[in-house]
Amino acid sequence: MPASAPANGDRDGIAGPSSLLLPGQPLPPSFTKPPQPACGSGCYEHEGRILSSVVGRPRRDGAVVSVVGREEAGLMPEIDAVVIGTVSPAKLFQ
């Protein structure tokens, strides 16, 4: 297993089925242990914590963490559908 892979026995640095993240949830400690990794796609840093921005599983590739989104998360709601969620401000990084 590569040195950058989490210690939970997951293949290729991707978390198992119990680690499905929702937007706004912090990545598990096994993915963010020091030194603090850089944020890749599907996640962002807020107040020193790395949070998911999509529905998916966390992944660490060396010094970069990301959240691999699920195909189902890309679906758009139907017109007049009821959508439950929380609106929060987001920082844009260039």
pLDDT per residue as tens, the chain (94 positions): 343 444 444 444 555 545 789 999 999 998 988 888 999 999 999 998 999 998 889 999 999 999 988 654 456 677 888 888 888 887 776 5
Distance from C-alpha of 13 to C-alpha of 3, rounded to nearest angstrom: 10
Residue 89 confidence (pLDDT): 80
| Within-domain flag for 94 | no
CATH code of the domain in which 29 resides? 2.40.50.100
Q: Which long-range contacts (CB under 8 A, 24 or more apart) does 30-34 make?
A: 30/6, 31/6, 31/58, 31/59, 31/60, 31/65, 32/65
Residue 20 confidence (pLDDT): 87
Residue 6 confidence (pLDDT): 42
Q: Which domain holds residue 41?
A: 11-70
| Within-domain flag for 60 | yes
Element (H, E) at 74: none
| Within-domain flag for 92 | no
| Within-domain flag for 86 | no
Structurally, the chain folds into a number of domains equal to 1
Place of tokens 């989104």: 69
Distance from C-alpha of 60 to C-alpha of 80, rounded to nearest angstrom: 38
